Structure 1
Amino acid sequence: MSWWQDLEAEHFEWAVPEQFNIAHACVDEQNPDDLALVVDTGGHWARYTFGEVATMSRKFATVLADLGLVSGDRVGVMVPQGIEVLATHLGAFRSGIVTVPLSVKFGSDALVHRMRDSGAKVLVVEKDCYERVADGIGDIPGLEAVIVVGRLDQLSDSTPVQILDFHSLVDDAAESSELVATGPDSHAIIIYTSGTTGNPKGALHGHRILLAHMPGMRTAFDNAPQLGDVFWTPADWAWIGGLFDVLFPALALGCPVVATPDKFTPSRAVEILSRHKVTGAFIPPTALKQMRSIGIDKTAARGIQLRALGTGGEALGEALQAWVASTLGVDVNEFYGQTEMNLTIGTSRSKWSPASGSMGRAFPGFEVTLLDPLGEPVEIGEVGEICVKAGNPGQFLGYWNQPSKTDEKVYDGWIHTGDLGRTDDAGNFWYQGRADDVISSAGYRIGPGEIEECLLSHDEVAMAGVIGVPDPLRGEAVHAFVVLSEGSNSSEELRQELQTHVKSRLAFYQYPREITFIDSLPLTTTGKILRRELRALATSANGLG
Structure 2
Amino acid sequence: MPIYERFVGAHRDDFLSLKDAQKNYKLTWSEDFNFAYDVMDVLGTEKPDKLAMVWVSKDGEEIKFTFEDMMKMSNKVANYLRYLGVKKGDRVLLVMKRSHYFWHTVLALHKIGAVMVQATFMLTPKEYVYRCNKAGIKYAIFTGDGNCTDQFDERQDEYETVLRKMVLGHKKADGWLDFEEGVANASDEWVRPTGKDAIYANDTSILGFTSGTNGYPKMVLHDFRYPLGHIMTGVFWHRVVDGGLHFTISDTGWLKSLWGKMYGQWFGESAVLVYDFDKFDAVDILEKLEKYRVTTFCVPPTMYRLLLQQNVKDYDLSALTHCCTAGEALSPEIFNNWKEATGLELYEGFGQTETTLCIATIYPWTKPVPGAMGLPVPGFDVHILDEEGENAAHGSNGEICIRTLSTDRHPCGLMRSYNANPEDTERAIYRGYYHTGDVAYRDEFGLFRYVGRNDDVIKSSGYRISPFEIESVMLEHPAVFEVAVTGVPDPVRGFAVKATVALKDGYVGSDELTKELQTYVKKNTAPYKYPRVIEYVAALPKTFNGKIRRVEIRNNDKQKYDENNK
Place the TM-score, normalised by the shorter chain, in its bin.
0.7 to 0.9
Q: Could you tell me which residue of structure 2 aligns to residue 487 of structure 1?
A: none
Is residue 229 of structure 1 aligned with residue 248 of structure 2?
no
**Are 1:367 and 2:376 matched, yes or no?**
no
Paired with 1:434 and 1:426, the residues of 2 have a C-alpha distance of 23
RCO (CA 8 Å, sep 6+): is it higher in 1 or 2?
Answer: 1
For the 8 Å contact 2:8–2:28, the answer to whether it is kept is no
Q: CA deviation at 1:138?
A: 3.4
1:308 maps onto 2:308 in alignment: no
User: Of 244, 256, 269, which residue of structure 2 is paired with 1:254?
Assistant: 269
| 2:118–2:255 Cα contact (<8 Å) kept | no
Mapped pair 1:403 → 2:419: no
List aligned pairs for 1:133-152, cutoff 5 A.
133-152=152-171
2:7 pairs with one of 3, 10, 21: 3
Distance 1:515 1:25, change over 3 A: closer
Question: How far apart, in 2, do the equivalents of 1:192 and 1:331 lie?
Answer: 31
CA shift in 2, pair 1:469/1:85, >3 Å: farther
1:12 paired to 2:30: no
| Preserved CA contact (<8 Å) 1:110 1:507 | no
Match of 1:449 in 2: none
Structure 1 residues 536 and 311: CA distance shift in structure 2, 3 A: farther
1:261-410 mapped onto 2 (5 Å cutoff):
261-263=276-278, 264-293=280-309, 295-299=310-314, 301-390=315-404, 391-410=410-429
Pair 1:173 & 2:186 matched: yes
**CA distance in structure 2 between the partners assigned to 1:34 and 1:174 by the alignment:** 22
Q: Distance between the aligned counterparts of 2:115 and 2:551, measured in 1?
A: 38
- 1:335 shift after superposition: 0.4
Cα offset, 1:195, TM superposition: 4.9
Structure 1 residue 217: Cα displacement: 2.9
Give the distance between the partners of 2:327 and 2:498, measured in 1 at CA.
Answer: 15
d(CA) in 2 for partners of 1:198, 1:316: 24
Cα separation, 2, equivalents of 1:304 and 1:155: 46
Give CA-to-partner distance per residue, 1:185-234, whole Å, 9 cap, x none: 21111110145765311101011111112123322223x4x344211112
CA RMSD of aligned residues (A): 3.3
- How big is the shift at 1:397? 1.2
Q: Determine if contact 1:77/1:102 at 8 Å carries over to the other structure.
A: yes
Please list, as runs of the form range in 1=range in 2, the aligned pairs for 1:508-523 lying within 5 A after superposition: none
- State the AA in 2 paired with 1:262: F
Decide whether aligned partners of structure 1 residues 473 and 167 sit closer, same or farther in structure 2, where only a CA change above 3 A counts: farther
Shift in CA distance, 356/349, structure 1 to aligned 2, threshold 3 Å: farther
Deviation at 1:304, TM superposition (A): 4.7
**What TM-score comes out, normalization by structure 2 length?**
0.75
Q: Which amino acid aligns with 1:368?
A: V
Closer, same or farther: CA 190–473 of 1 in aligned 2, 3 Å: farther
Choose 369-378 or 187-196, whichever is displaced more.
Answer: 187-196
Corresponding residue for 2:445? 426
* Residue-by-residue CA offset, 1:475-510 (whole Å, 9 max, x unaligned): xxxxxxxxxxxxxxxxxxxxxxxx9xx99xx95969
Deviations 1:93-148 (A, max 9, x none): 01100000111222222222111111111100001222343313332222111110
Question: Deviation digits for residues 1-55 of structure 1, max 9, x if unmatched?
Answer: 3324644453234323122112124420211211111111142211111111111
Question: Which residue matches 1:491?
Answer: none
Report the AA paired with residue 114 of structure 2.
I
CA contact (8 A) 1:25 1:252 kept: no
| SS at structure 1 position matched to 2:71 | helix
CA–CA separation in structure 2 for the residues paired with 1:327 and 1:335:
21
User: Which residue of structure 2 lines up, in the alignment, with residue 217 of structure 1?
Assistant: 234
Distance 1:322 1:233, change over 3 A: same
2 CA distance for matches of 1:133 and 1:310?
Answer: 35
Q: Distance in 1 between matches of 2:431 and 2:414?
A: 15
How many Å apart are 1:252 and its aligned residue? 2.7
Given the superposition, is the C-alpha separation of residues 357 and 514 from structure 1 closer, same or farther in structure 2, using an over 3 Å criterion? closer
Instruction: Specify the code of the residue in structure 2 equivalent to 1:183.
Output: Y
Distance change in 2, residues 1:508/1:297 (3 Å): closer
Aligned to 1:315, what secondary structure does the other structure show?
Answer: coil
Q: What TM-score, normalized by structure 1, do the two folds share?
A: 0.78
Judge which range, 301-310 or 357-366, deviates more: 301-310
Deviations 1:279-305, CA, capped at 9 Å, x for gaps: 111111111111112x22312x22452
CA gap 1:509/1:280 in 2 versus in 1, 3 angstroms: closer
* Residue aligning to 2:524: none
Q: Deviations over 1:491-533 (max 9, x none)?
A: xxxxxxxx9xx99xx95969989999xxxxxxxxxxxxx9697
Corresponding residue for residue 483 of structure 2: none
Of stretches 174-183 and 334-343 in structure 1, the one that deviates more from structure 2 is 174-183
Match of 1:260, as an amino acid? Answer: Y
Letter aligned with residue 395 of structure 1: L
Aligned in 2, Cα 1:510/1:108: closer, same or farther, shift over 3 Å?
A: farther
Aligned: 1:100 with 2:117: yes
Partner Cα distance (1:151, 1:468) in 2: 50
- The more displaced of 252-261 and 93-102 is 252-261
CA distance 1:124–1:353, shift in 2 (3 Å): same
Provide the rounded CA distance (Å) in 2 between the counterparts of 1:367 and 1:96. 30
**Aligned-pair identity (%):** 27
Q: Is the 8 A contact 1:410 1:416 kept in 2?
A: yes
Q: Quick one: distance in 1 between partners of 2:149 and 2:550?
A: 26
3-state DSSP class of the match of 1:366?
coil
Could you tell me whether the CA contact under 8 Å between 1:286 and 1:473 is conserved in 2?
A: no
Gaps of at least 5 residues in structure 2 are 405-409, 458-466, 472-496, 505-538
- Tell me, yes or no, if the aligned pair for 1:94 and 1:178 is still in contact at 8 Å: no
1:192 counterpart letter in structure 2: F
Structure 1: gaps of 5 or more residues: 157-161, 442-466, 475-498, 517-529, 541-545
CA drift at 1:171:
0.8
Matching residue of 1:450:
none
How far apart, CA to CA, are the structure 1 residues paired with 2:333 and 2:552? 30
Output the CA distance in 1 between the equivalents of 2:379 and 2:326: 19
Structure 1 CA distance for aligned equivalents of residues 272 and 242 of structure 2: 14
Q: 2:455 aligns with which of 416, 427, 436?
A: 436
